[in-house]
Structure 1
Amino acid sequence: MAPVFFTDLDGTLLDHDTYSHAPARDALAALRDRGIPLVLTSSKTAAEIAELHRDLDLGTTPAIVENGAGIFDPQEGLQGDRGAHRKVLTALDQLPSPLRAGFTGFTDMTVEEVQILTGLDAEASRRAKMRCHSEPGLWTGPQDTQDAFIAGLAQHGIAARQGGRFLTLSLGHTKADAMATVAQHLGATLTVALGDAPNDFEMLDAADIAVVIRNDHGPDVAPLRGEGSPRVHRTTEPGPRGWNTAVLAILEDITARGRE
C-alpha cells in the first residue's frame, strides 16, 4: 500500500484564527516517520505555500495551490505563468458595471486591506496577492445578484467556488483534478483527503478516504459519496486538533491492515 495524504490548510491543518499547525504535531511526525507524502492543498498561492512547505520539511513533495488551479513544484521555485490569472481579471472587467462592482478581489485590495481581512502580517499578505491562477475575494453586492455575477463569469469560462472565507474565481480546475495528477505522479494506491469547506468537496468525494474537519466558521461540506460508511470521517474537533486525531486513527488502521 502506498498512501498519500492531501490536506487543505486554513481551518483544517491550520487553525482558523492563529494559522498554527502546532496541535497537529504528533500526526505530522507520524507521517514523516513513515515516509508518507503529505500534499498541501489550498487556495493559497505558491508564494504562501513555499514557506509552510519548508517549515514542515516536505522535501520535494509537490503542493496544490490556488484551489487546484496550479501545482507548485518546490524543485522549480516560484516562477509561474500568470496567464490564467490575467484571463480571470479580463473576464471580471467585461461584466456589467453593477455586477463587477459587487466583487472585491485580492487584486482590488491593498496589502493593508488583505491584512485586515485575513489577519496575516504584511509580508504574508503580500504573498497572498501573488496570484498566478485564480482570484479570491468577497461578494459585497446585493445577495440576489450574486447568481447573475457567477452566471456572467461562466459565459467567459470562469468558475466561482465558495471557500471557508472567500469566493474564488478560476478557469475551473478543482482540487480533485490536481489531486489525481499528483497522486499518479507519486504512485499513490490510497488517497486520503482532509478538508473543512465546500471548495474541498470534489477532492473529498474523489479520495479513497475522506476526512471532513469540523468547521465552526462557515458552511459545512455537503454529504459525500459513501457518507455514513468507514470511507467518510467527520471530526468532532475543529482545525488541527481534529486533523491530528483523524490522521493518527487512519495511520493506525493502515498499519493494522498491513499486518493482515
Structure 2
Amino acid sequence: MRLMWSQKTQGMGRQVKLIVFTDLDGTLLDHARYDWSAARPALTALRAADIPLILASSKTAAEIAPLHAALELGEWPVIAENGAARVRPGDTRDDRSAYLRLRGLLNALPVPLRALYRGFGDMTDAEVARITGLSPEAAALARARQHSEPGLWAGDDSARDAFLAALAEQGVSARQGGRFLTLSFGGTKAGQMGAIMQDLGRNTAIALGDAPNDIEMLETAARGIIIRNDHGAAIPPLAGETSGRIVRSTEPGPHGWNTEILALLARPGLIEEHI
C-alpha cells in the first residue's frame, strides 16, 4: 500500500512533503559490520512512499557510491565528507586541491602539536582498514579525500585546544564524530540540508544520527532521531528532547533506524506536531 504524505498539517494548511537525512556509520550501518539489512523494512517503506533518502556522512563520495547504488537511491544527492561537499550520483570530478591545501596547513603546525594527530593521509590503506574494520579496497576509497581529513587524536584536552586554535587561525574547522576528529574548511551536514530540500521540493525533514557531528543536522530537522551507539562519543542531552522533537532509539544502529522510521511513517502526527 502506498503511503500518502500530501496531508495538510493541522490548522496550518501546509502540505507535508517528507525527506529523510541519515548518517551512515553507527546509524544506518551497523558499527561492526557496516551492514544495513536490519533497516530493510523501513527503507522499503520510504521507497514506497516516494520519500527521498539522503545519505549524509563523513565518508567520501567514492565510498558512498556503492552503498547509494545498493540502496537504489537513483538521482538523489549525497552529503559527503561531513558536509564539506554535496555530490550528485555519477559526478566523477576528482579535484583534490582543497584536501592538499588542508594537508599543507596541517603539516605546517608546530611539531609537538602535529605529532598528536594522525590523519588518513598519514596512514596506509592497511592501517585505515585495521582501525575501521573496512576491507583494504574500501579503505583505499576512504583515503580518496577531496575536502576533509579524518584522524585520531592522541593528546590531552589542553593540547587539543591548542591544536584546534592554531588550525582555526588558518580557516580550518574540526568536528568530532563517533571515532574520528575530522578537519575541513567548513560546511556541515545541516548546512547542506536546506539547498537539497529546495532542489527536491521538500519542506519537512527527518534526520537520524549517532555522533556529535550529527547534532546540527538533528536540531535543524523537524524531527531528529538519535540512534543509540554504544561504541563512540555520545551525543549530550539536546534541547529538542524536552519537547519530544528529538528522540533517542532504544535499539542500536540499523535496528533502531528501522524501528523509529516505521513508527514515524505509521503516525504522521508525531511529525506534524513539531512543524
**If the length of structure 1 is used for normalisation, what is the TM-score?**
0.95
Tell me the SS of whatever aligns to 1:228.
helix
Residue of structure 1 in register with 2:217 after alignment: 203
* Sequence identity percentage: 54
Residue of structure 2 in register with 1:89 after alignment: 103
Amino acid at match of 2:213: N
**If the length of structure 2 is used for normalisation, what is the TM-score?**
0.90
1:169 to 178, 183, 188: 183
Residue of structure 2 in register with 1:11 after alignment: 26
Tell me the SS of whatever aligns to 2:170.
coil
Q: Hey, what's the Cα distance between the residues in 1 that align with 2:249 and 2:145?
A: 32
Contact 1:194–1:211 (8 Å) recurs in 2:
yes
Contact 1:46–1:78 (8 Å) recurs in 2:
no
2:54 to 26, 32, 39: 39
Q: Hey, what's the Cα distance between the residues in 2 that align with 1:104 and 1:189?
A: 40
| Bigger mean CA deviation after superposition, 48-57 or 78-87 | 78-87
1:67 to 45, 63, 82: 82
Q: Hey, what's the Cα distance between the residues in 1 that align with 2:271 and 2:177?
A: 34
| Bigger mean CA deviation after superposition, 131-140 or 214-223 | 214-223
How much does 1:255 deviate? Answer: 8.1
Give ranges in structure 2 of 5+ residues lacking alignment: 1-15
State the Cα RMSD in Å: 1.5
Q: Hey, what's the Cα distance between the residues in 1 that align with 2:238 and 2:156?
A: 31
Give ranges in structure 1 of 5+ residues lacking alignment: none
Tell me the SS of whatever aligns to 1:223.
coil
Q: Hey, what's the Cα distance between the residues in 2 that align with 1:13 and 1:31?
A: 14
Amino acid at match of 2:74: G
How much does 1:229 deviate? Answer: 1.9
Residue of structure 2 in register with 1:235 after alignment: 249
Q: Hey, what's the Cα distance between the residues in 2 that align with 1:221 and 1:257?
A: 22
Aligned residues: 257
1:23 partnered with 2:35: no
Contact 2:222–2:271 (8 Å) recurs in 1:
no
Counterparts of 1:120-199 in structure 2, within 5 Å, are 120-199=134-213
